[in-house]
Structure 1
């Protein structure tokens, strides 16, 4: 029996996100990213398709590894310019009732006290539909932008993240009791001060002595996403994440990562079903396989190889402009996204070259598309969920909005017919829709924060 498949739109508040160059397609509307109406219409469309959420990626630096500068990224709109994704969420929430919003925020460059307030505010404004994709960063340009010489080492970033989570859990989960807000106009008492407490945190990275500024939001802690699949990243995910974003690769590789994270979560005292994995996927769907292939060939004419290399250079931490097509590439010193390097090595072989890399990016990214009729794509999705244990898919855009329309109009009805996609939303918060409970369970690390401040 196949399980229900969850779908997120994988987006970014910019022109060129994952499939580099496709913004130049005449039918693509992603250059409207700075218009609020664009995102309002996008949200309505996603809710019509019963999407679980929109997953907003984000970076706070520029891709300047390729050629030693950001010229290729700027010219090809490779995630620059990029606007703050948090600011469009209230507008999208106002025109929807059920759509969830997963937003990326880099904890390395966000003060935890202020960030906790921002997320609680969004959880209030969305009625409990906010999620946080926890990232620690991978761009030296972002580190330099806030006055550092470069990034903190990969594993050290996760050590910092563990403490960061410990602190924000205290603020979200422990500062205010559920019944602290009385709102008694007759007595002039809005909140009972005996049920609001100051958080005292003194760690290696952070020192905070303050009460959380927000009253308890519907979820308190946002739904927690995390995308690291490196050895250290998996440990972090097993401790904290509810939803894990895994990159596309072979099925056995995905299954190994999913099984490992869930097993580690159980070892930490959690329940395996409290961790859901989402696979990144790019879909090109046609009424027939022939139509899909024709669309794929059309899209390929707009791909920017330079943009793809500029993106890959920073994601992998390697300046590809220094290599000839068939020259062996040294990956040993990368401090970027370690799981990306590992995934690339699995797909291109232990000794990869620029030619091999470009062969892995037929549509301007390292994520090779699934191309086929709606029936074929539905078969693939069901196959992947059954064989790897992923709960759903983060779908990156190709040519917007037609790629989304194809999913909603062609694919979703088929998945519903096969009994693997919902026909209506469940009631409740984002976490309730995904897991059946509004708050993090007692088995989660956040529960310790509740007890610690009592």
Structure 2
């Protein structure tokens, strides 16, 4: 029997996320992204469907590579306008009891000292249901707008990321001892100063001498997500990630990716099964296959070709506006998302993809595959992918929102539950406890668990 299938919803605090142009569909409500009602209702729907979490994407920058201009992205709302994702989470957490929240936040543009406080605050307010999708920003426009002359090279960004995490681990795990907060009304001591420690971090990129400003949150370190698909990104995930997000378009690509991540975890001294992998997927559902196919054909009428090219150009750093629609894809190295360029050349080694075919693929659901069919048909496909690739679950993007998510909850989830491959209820506790069935905090041999007992080891890693 297939092991339990895990589901996250994949959304972004914007109009056009992974399906450019679909905002024009008469049933799409993405334009209400500015209203808390949209997000609260979505969170309630997902919790009703026993989703593990809502994975919220983000970018700090604009997709301005296509034709060297921002116009296409703005014209087609290609992930712009885009609002801050963090401010959505407390309202959704207040309206739910179990749903987790994977927040995308770039370490490229914020100092770890202030960022660690933001995430601790979020973990407190969600009662331990916060996760952090660790990303290093790839858009040149984002770097320029915070005063950097250009975006750092791909591998250099991971050098910064490794030290960034060291600082966060020290703040979250080592600065405040368990029991530091006493709240003793008789003695008048709220916190014992002897149990709060400066971290004395002096590194290549960051200097953080002092204490963490927050008392320990339920998880201390939020659940750690990571989405890098390059060799360096997979090594980083093997060392640090608890959940890994990938956008593999085929089973062969996904199987290789999952195996590489698990191998990287083993090489880092971790149990390969301590990492949950999620693939980007979009499902179009109907009561019957024919009904689902009709819905999919209806959706396709609203896809924006130019909007899709704006996305792909931003993801790869290649201006696809310089190529004719029927010109075949050229494989070029960039400092943007390297894996994005490789995606289409690895789907089918014998196929020469044209720019038009590439845009058509991305038009609904981004780089991930699209499954179309009845609940039974889609459930068969999801189980097949689990069995054939060793992936743990799926990040489900929408074509039309909230319709896509409502269809999953109302049609697909009952079918998966009937087959015994989807949970009927949540585990109790924090997000980490719900996902892994262990304690609320990082456990050895995860490297974050080593940054405790700073009172005995100063800035050194505890044994």
TM range (shorter): over 0.9
Assess if the C-alpha contact under 8 Å between 2:33 and 2:39 holds in 1: yes
SS of equivalent residue, structure 1 residue 109 = coil
Q: What are the equivalent positions in structure 2 for 1:18-29 lying under 5 Å apart?
A: 18-29=18-29
Q: What are the equivalent positions in structure 2 for 1:39-438 lying under 5 Å apart?
A: 39-347=39-347, 349=349, 352-363=353-364, 365-436=366-437, 437-438=439-440
Assess if the C-alpha contact under 8 Å between 2:65 and 2:314 holds in 1: yes
SS of equivalent residue, structure 2 residue 208 = strand
- Structure 2 distance, partners of 1:9, 1:62, is 23
Instruction: Give the CA deviation at 1:419.
Output: 0.6
Deviations 1:140-162 (A, max 9, x none): 00000101121100011011100
Assess if the C-alpha contact under 8 Å between 2:199 and 2:454 holds in 1: no
Counterpart in 1 of 2:449?
Answer: 447
TM-score, scaled to structure 2: 0.96
- Structure 1 distance, partners of 2:392, 2:295, is 28
Deviations 1:325-384 (A, max 9, x none): 343544323111112122222126586441342343353733341111100111111111
Gaps of 5+ in 2: 457-463
Gaps of 5+ in 1: none
- Structure 1 distance, partners of 2:344, 2:447, is 32
- Structure 2 distance, partners of 1:335, 1:169, is 28
- Larger deviation, residues 304-313 vs 357-366: 357-366
TM superposition outliers: structure 1 runs of 4+ over 4 Å: 348-352
Deviations 1:285-323 (A, max 9, x none): 010000000000000111111101001101011101111
How big is the alpha-carbon RMSD for the aligned residues of Structure 1 and Structure 2? 1.4
- Larger deviation, residues 340-349 vs 125-134: 340-349
Assess if the C-alpha contact under 8 Å between 1:131 and 1:225 holds in 2: yes
Instruction: Give the CA deviation at 1:453.
Output: 5.5
- Structure 1 distance, partners of 2:144, 2:430, is 38
Assess if the C-alpha contact under 8 Å between 2:19 and 2:363 holds in 1: no
- Structure 2 distance, partners of 1:256, 1:319, is 29
Assess if the C-alpha contact under 8 Å between 2:58 and 2:105 holds in 1: yes
TM-score, scaled to structure 1: 0.97
Counterpart in 1 of 2:13?
Answer: 13
C-alpha distance 257-453 of structure 1, shift in aligned 2 (>3 A): farther
